[in-house]
Structures are given as structure tokens and as C-alpha cells.
Amino acid sequence: MKKLMHAGLSLLMIMVISSLYLIIPSDSYAQNQLLQRVVSLAPNITREIYDLGAEGLLIGVTSYTPDMAGSTKEMVGSPSRINIEKTYSLRAQLVLASTDCNSKSDVEALKKLGCRIHVFNGCESFPCICATFKDLGAMLGRSQQAGEILNKVQAEMVRIQSKIRVQKQLKVFWQLGENPFVSANDATFSGELIRRAGCINIFGNAPMHYPRVNAEEVIKRNPDVIVVVNQMDSGSGHSVWEKFDTIKAVNNRRVYEISANLVCQPTPVMYLKGYKAVLALLYPGML
């Protein structure tokens, strides 16, 4: 009887301990997995991992990754075309992906191989970017660091916006590609940058997030400023517009280039840097 009671108590203890593990949040990877090996399939996620000071967990990244990661981590392909075999061979405890740059077929292929993968939804707004960053911090056991970074970035955004005093709303053409021309509507974080600067996006009401447009449409809408996001195509965006001197932006020499690294990396820190860079072009001397 004593042996039976002892066995029963042991079984009860195992059940209690098991139940304690079950109440741990499923996304607290760093806490219940002793997370040490992570692969990032999205450049913005890679950058955020470095921002959190968690780069020691990274073992694999993709192309278009921040310079500090490219030479020290294993390359697993491009964001749109992952090397499945290479990614699997790294034996990561967690693979991080994003819907805005990784294909569903690549994600499914990794899942079928048994990889534990978390897919973040792509963000087109500052609040969404901040929420995703907070979630990533929790996953990697860096919630405190994420909170501190978000507090600083959000406070700086508020401080800057309080200084904006716009007398006239500038009309802006935001150019992402040259062949064909591609712009961004107001539902994108590029469009949000323009709105936060107190300006009007000339293709803000386009039905597609990233519409293809032509020079005739740009001439008709006659922007005050043209912002060309470089490193999207080879060559200089300035030369394309030099012959269209009937456009206000061209006539007033207000065609600017801005780095894709500043405005195409949806992370809280890069959003702030991109916002400052855009304001410096639109309103020189304001900051």
C-alpha cells in the first residue's frame, strides 16, 4: 500500500510540474527553450535583433541584411528565395520570417522539415512596427530592451512632430522604381512618413499600395518635391527628371535622392531615422 501511495504521489508531482510548463506563454521562446540558435529570413528582423543586442543568437541571415551581419553570419539566400537545405542544415531552434518579403512556399517547406518558424505580418504603419518589435523582444527574452528602445523612439517622434509648423502643404512624388516608375499610396509606411511631415502624397489615393505610374501622370499632378529612393534601381534618379522642367520640383531643383536603407527598413529605429531624413529634405533647417 505504501509503495502504491508513493507511486501515486510521484505521478501527482509529475502532473503538477507538467501543468506549470503548460502555463508558460507559447511565444516565450527564450524562456522555455534556452534559445541560442536563430535564423532570420527578413532584413528588417535581422536589424531589429541587432537593435535588441541579441545578435549573439543569430546564426543565419539573408542578403540585403545590415552590413554588420553580412560578414559574420551564415547566408541562407535572398528574402524572396530562401535556400531551404542550407537553412535546415543550421539546426536553428527558431526561424523568423515576414509576410512582406518571404514566400509562403518557402515557409511551408521549412515547416514540413520540422523547423520551428514564426511569421510576422508585414507592417505599413508606425504603430504596427512598434508592436511587432515588442513581440520580437518578448520572444528573444529582450522585453526590457525593446521597451526602452520604443520609449526613446516614440518620445523623439512626439518631440519632432511638435516642431513641425507647415505654412503650405507640399505635394510630394515618392519614387521607388524607375523602370517602370513605382510609387506608394497613403496606406504604406512611406505614405505615412509623408503625412507625418505635413505633406500631400500625389499618389496617396491610388488603389494599390505600390502603384505603377508614368511620367505623364507625374507631370499632370505637378509635385513640389520629388523624392527618389535610390538603390532600388541602378543609375541616378535625378537624370530621369531633368528634361521635365515644367514640373515645379524640377524647375525649383527639389528632386532629391534618399537611401533605401533609411526608408525601406520597417523597424522602429530606422523609421525614426528615415523620418528625420525626409524632414531634412522637405524642410531644410527645421530640425
130 SS3 class: helix
Domain check: are 171 and 277 in the same one?
yes
Q: What is the mean pLDDT of residues 110-131?
A: 95
* Signed CA dihedral, 243, 249, 251, 255: sign only: negative
Q: pLDDT by residue (tens digit) across 205-215? A: 999 999 999 99
Cα Rg of the chain, angstroms: 24
**Does the structure show a pLDDT above 60 at 29?**
no
Please give the pLDDT value at position 30: 47
149 and 171 inside one domain: no
Quote the pLDDT of residue 247. 96
The pLDDT > 70 percentage for the chain reads: 83
Among the candidates 140, 157, 174, a domain finishes at 157
Amino acid identity, residue 133? Answer: F
**pLDDT band, very low/low/confident/very high, at 71 (cuts 50, 70, 90):** low
* pLDDT score at 3: 40
Same domain, 80 and 180: no
d(CA 90, CA 83): 11
Is the pLDDT assigned to residue 12 strictly greater than 90?
Answer: no
Does any domain span residue 23? no
Residue 173 has pLDDT above 90, yes or no: yes
Same domain, 82 and 183: no
| Domain final position from 157, 188, 205 | 157
Average pLDDT rounded to a whole number, residues 22-31: 40
What gap in Å lies between CA 209 and CA 186, rounded to an integer? Answer: 8
Query: Is residue 24 one of the residues assigned to a domain?
Result: no
Which CATH number goes with the domain that contains 65?
A: 3.40.50.1980
Q: How confident is the model at residue 167 (pLDDT cuts 50, 70, 90)?
A: low
Pick the closest to residue 59 from 49, 154, 189 (CA basis). Answer: 49
pTM of the complete model: 0.83
Average pLDDT over residues 252-261: 92
What are the tens digits of pLDDT across the range 208-245?
999 999 999 999 999 999 999 987 544 445 668 989 99
Domain that holds residue 257: 166-282
Q: Are residues 142 and 171 in the same domain?
A: no
Asked if residues 157 and 137 have their Cβ atoms less than 8 Å apart, the reply is no
Residue % of the chain over a pLDDT of 90: 69
